[in-house]
Amino acid sequence: MIELEIQALSERREGLLIEVGRIAVANGFTLQRQRLVQDPHGILLTIVVRGPPRKKRALEAALQAYDRIISFEMEPFVEGEQRPHFAASRAALDYVPPPVPEPEPAAETAAVDKLKPAATPAVATVAFDEIEPARLTAAPSPPPATMSIPEPANRQQAEPEFEFILPEPTRAPAAPPPVVEAPFVELIPLEPDQAAVNKVLSKLPTEYPQIMPRLLTLDRSVPEAARESSLRLAGQRIGRWVFERDHAQAGRLDLNEAIEQIGTPALSALVEIEQEGGQLHIRNSPLCAEAGHSGCTFFSGFLEGLLGPVLTSSELSIFAVCCRSYGADDCVLALSD
């Protein structure tokens, strides 16, 4: 078996994960992880699938023919390696231009001095009384009256100095921080918490089918690594209890009959579901409301405990195609024998 990481770009989100999951299942692969991210370029889908190597080309051809996928890349999945999505938007560079250097004071003073007008020199004046009067043969005439010419203004009033005000350099706005996708983190699974499961089942006869609050308490009370195994065990035991209470007299059935006659009615008492052949669509699952926090293992365990005793085949395979907690519209379980 090989594990492949598929990155795809699409325009619309609705039903994308479900349809791509169906393509993977139809080509012999099982969905391991999935992620949907909204991006300015469109919807970024990342899934990890596991299947036989000989089916890789068939899966590539099916994805190439799927009209909702604009483009995609398929690479071998490496545990612990975080690959950025090939179509994700890149953050803009945070470039700030350097400030404009201020002029030196000496140069500015020299420029101002050049604009000042030159001072007007004073005009030298001579009084008429300094000129010797002409001598006449006749009786001397009285000297002419002395007249003085008013001095002109020494200089024009100096014009005000100009001040050069340089504009403040503009700075580019800071770019928003880049969006960093959270890496895949896979915990080492632990054994189920038997005591916590027993506590949930202690009130089962009186509270069923109103058991979702107790399941949510179980989901939050056990360690994260034991959460899925504890939910699966609780589902198996509750499913077996419902079978013994309501369907113990049922005969052997094939898978489709068991889903229609037993599985769908029993699961409808807990959540809203819709059957499409061998797939069950679970709508608005309370156990899968938190992002990246799937509770589909409970429903898988419930169907195992409920349908296992009546199936003609010895094996029941339940595969979670997609989950609401990873961005899908519904949680989808695919059943096969």
At 40-64, the pLDDT tens digits run: 888 899 989 989 889 899 999 999 9
- The three state secondary structure string of 106-171 is HHHHHHHHHHCCCCCCCCCCCCHHHCCCCCCCCCCCCCCCCCCCCCCCCCCCCCCCCCCCCCCCCC
Last residue of a domain, one of 80, 100, 115: 80
Asked if residue 212 has pLDDT above 90, the reply is: yes
Q: Supply the range of the domain harboring residue 24.
A: 1-80
Could you tell me the CATH number of the domain that includes residue 65? 3.30.70.260
What total of structural domains would you count in the chain?
Answer: 2
Beta bridge partners of 44: 9, 37
pLDDT at 166: 62
CA–CA separation, 258 and 254 (whole Å): 6
Q: Is the peptide bond before 209 cis (omega within 30 degrees of 0)?
A: yes
Distances in Å between the Cα of 59 and the Cα atoms of 6, 45, 50, 336 are 10, 16, 11, 20
Cα dihedral 260, 261, 267, 270 sign? positive
Last residue of a domain, one of 80, 114, 133: 80
Q: Is 6 helix (H, G, I), strand (E, B) or coil?
A: strand
pLDDT at 228: 92
Last residue of a domain, one of 62, 80, 98: 80
Pick the more confident residue, 165 or 137: 165
pLDDT per residue as tens digits for the range 246-279:
998 888 899 999 999 999 999 999 999 999 888 9
185 belongs to a structural domain: no
Residue 334, sorted as left (phi over 0), alpha (psi -120 to 50) or beta, turns out to be beta
Could you tell me the CATH number of the domain that includes residue 324? 3.30.1380.20
Confidence band for 90, pLDDT divided at 50, 70 and 90: confident
9 belongs to a structural domain: yes
